[in-house]
Amino acid sequence: MRLALMFPGQASQFIGMGGDLRRLSPSVEAIYQLADAATGLPIGRVSAVGPDEYLTDTRFAQPAVVATSLAALAILREAAQAQGISLRPMICAGHSVGEITALVAAGALEPTAALAFVRWRGAFMAEACDSTNGSMAAVMGLSEEDVRKLCADSVQATNTFAEVANLNSPDQIVIAGHRAALQWISEHSRVRGARRAILLNVAGPFHSSAMRSAAGKLAPLVSRLSLTRPAYPLVLNQTGQATLDSDEIRSELISQLHEPVRWADSLQCMWDFGARVFVEVGPGQVLAGLARRTLTGATILNVQDQPSLDSTIQELKRLAETE
């Protein structure tokens, strides 16, 4: 099976995520307990019942998304094994903090180390957010060149900053910047030909130059992180290219904080590599939706709860039987 695994990033979280998966297998609860111990934060409780202000806080959101994705991966593997399905992917990728989940899935990073690392990643990024009046916005229907021009004009008009942050699909680009610049863009984007621009409810301007201070603080932790060669290629956010090189991955873990996520390129890379079945593993269906809009002819699945797990296992079994 020409399988690719995808792991979501921050903003996919919601109160109650992973809830019914906990009832299916003790391995799910074990991962949340591991997350609590590795981070010193009540990740399992916050994922289950909130409150919302905790779950939207970057300090909690990032380890909660990673823990829930790891839990979904564990139960997907158990269900696949029970059905005699080989779940070994040919390639994987994760969006922003999801890249760390992908490293665990590929055997390049131990779960405890990953969760402890994400705890500090979230904390350093939250500190950077606190020093800027920033956020993010999604612009639909403009090219990358047009969005960059829109950002440049907003900077000139507001004397603040706005930058391309996520190149998610051919028709969706997320920008990060000062709230004044984002508001200017939301008011002027349709005149430039955009279908719409939506201000996002996020804590700060991620994947922009505002995160350089966080990257600097994270760098010493990355240098000490115990990374091994992944069992299969990882597509890097910053380049949209696949690698097995641990040093390249280590460098990426620092630079991806302040560089754009080239997700559309990442999807194309996995397709060009030969993947035809794409499974998003973790909360939400953002990546599955982007894949559907980007990859014609691909089978797109996701696992975040019992219904999506059951339907994914059913489809993977059908695909395996037809090979």
Just list the catalytic residues.
96, 207
By the 8 A CB rule, do 22 and 108 touch? no
In angstroms, the CA 218 to CA 214 distance is 6
Strand partners, 176: 136, 163
Strand, helix or coil at 212? Answer: helix
Per-residue burial over 269-280, b = 16 or more CB atoms within 10 Å of its CB, e = otherwise: bbbeeebbbbbb
110, two tokens: 């131990």
Strand, helix or coil at 65? Answer: helix
**Is the preceding peptide bond at 51 cis, omega within 30 degrees of 0?**
yes
Taking the alpha carbons at both ends of the chain, their separation in whole angstroms is 7
H/E stretch holding 118: helix 111-130
